[in-house]
Amino acid sequence: MKKNDEFIIDITDVTNEGSGVGKYEGMAVFVPLTAVGDTVKVKALKVKKTYAFGKLIEIISPSIDRIENDCEAFNKCGGCVYRHISYEAECKLKENKVYEVIKRIGGVDMKPQPIIPSISIYGYRNKAQYPVSGEGKVGFYAFHSHRIIPCADCSLQPRIFSKIVAVTEDWIKENNISIYEEEKHRGLLRHIYLRLAEVTNEIMFTAVINGDKLPFADRLIESLKSLCGENLKSVQININKKDTNVILGDKCEVLYGEPYITDVLCGIKVRLSPLSFYQVNRTMAEKLYEKAAEYAKPESRNILDLYCGAGTIGLSMAGSAKSIIGVEIIPEAIADAEFNARNNGIKNAEFICGDATTAANDLKKRKIHPDTVIVDPPRKGCTPELIATITNDFSPEGVVYVSCDPATLARDIKIFGENGYSLIEYTPVDLFPRTSHVETVAILKNELPMA
């Protein structure tokens, strides 16, 4: 096989990023926009020693899972990868993906519980971060690049977001707003960042800028108020002057309304700032936390919530737990968690600002022993040092692991196993329909006799 060769292959598998996989002359060929069961004509774009990347030329025979794509930006922006197959097929792929990595990386051949599918596959995202192009158009980055694809009316976002984007684009054009140029690190407006509180319908608009002031902000605010009415609760700027691809800076300034909006998750009122972590699919986050509670069995137990963020997982269990102790290294998140506890009248929850080792030493001095530890780490997973602290210093009966990356979950399951904690059960939960991402919640138990 060489570059520009054309050939016919059967698609038999799919990668974690959604590309179909077939074989030609013994080599794996990765082809975007294909589905398992397709027979396709492919053109080789890049050929390596043992694999190749191809472009779909023609569908010879379609998969039974194939459906019509309903988005013009599909395969251009870096969001969806499964708009060409049925949602049922997508869920099967995700469930199998989690199983395969747990088996291959974690070394545990255990089938997952059936995946919990999303209640809705449209309009489920409560947050959008839109880069702004030099032409003043708002969209999303292309896959593996910083090239902006116009896509204001994304079907994963609430419809109000597309209307806000349209108003913002008009304001940019009418007031000749300077747009940030990443290569030259000049220009003002970098991103438009929107949040919607699903239960209260409160809306937050944040302009991420390479500067200290937003010109003609009063005109933007009036346009947003006319569109959103009383639902517009907060307009802010986020100041990010760094030469970086990180979207948000550390400082926010309120231009209109309040610094926060409020949503309700698992019956708990949650305060959200631009910098707060919050699951983008609130409805399915409730399903995820319900499964975590099922595994944690918090009734009359001491629950330690590591990576607690604004405290949402732990606080959702506070009604039945003996105590909730949340640990988070980010001071602003701890402030949010403490506010959320007070605002909901929860008196059996406390929060420690620090890392797990700091918490372990503190709890030892106070002779507090957690019955269950919950971890909800970022995509990179837990460090071996954290796992050692959990298994040796906290020594809980069980560990509930909430993961946004099956590969790091599998790696950590193996490390937990080496420290005496075995995987008992795990359940994939789909918070991100039509994308390649999937959440998983697992329960591990201490199999070693207690000292």
DSSP bridge pairs for 257? 234
Q: What is the spatial distance between Cα 33 and Cα 75, in angstroms, rounded to a whole number?
A: 7
Separation between Cα atoms, residue 114 and residue 95, nearest integer Å: 7
Give catalytic status of residue 77 as yes or no: no
Whether 308 and 289 have beta carbons less than 8 Å apart is answered as no
Selecting among 77, 80, 91, 404, the annotated active-site residue is 404
Contacts of 120 (CB under 8 A, 6+ apart): 283, 433
Q: Is the dihedral of CA 206, 208, 213, 215 positive or negative?
A: negative
Residue with tokens 């050692």: 388
3-state helix, strand, coil in the chain (%, to 5): 25, 30, 40
d(CA 374, CA 296): 8
Give CA 198 to chain center in angstroms.
17
3-state secondary structure of 10: strand
Contacts for 283-287 with beta carbons within 8 Å, 24 or more apart? 283/118, 283/119, 283/120, 283/124, 283/198, 284/116, 284/118, 284/119, 284/124, 284/429, 284/430, 284/431, 285/312, 285/431, 287/116, 287/119, 287/429
* Phi and psi, residue 286, nearest 5°: -60, -40
Burial of 319: CB neighbours in 10 Å, binned 0-12, 13-18, 19+: middle
Distance CA 163, CA 249 (A): 26
> What are 408's two structure tokens?
């790091």
Please give the positions annotated as active site. 404
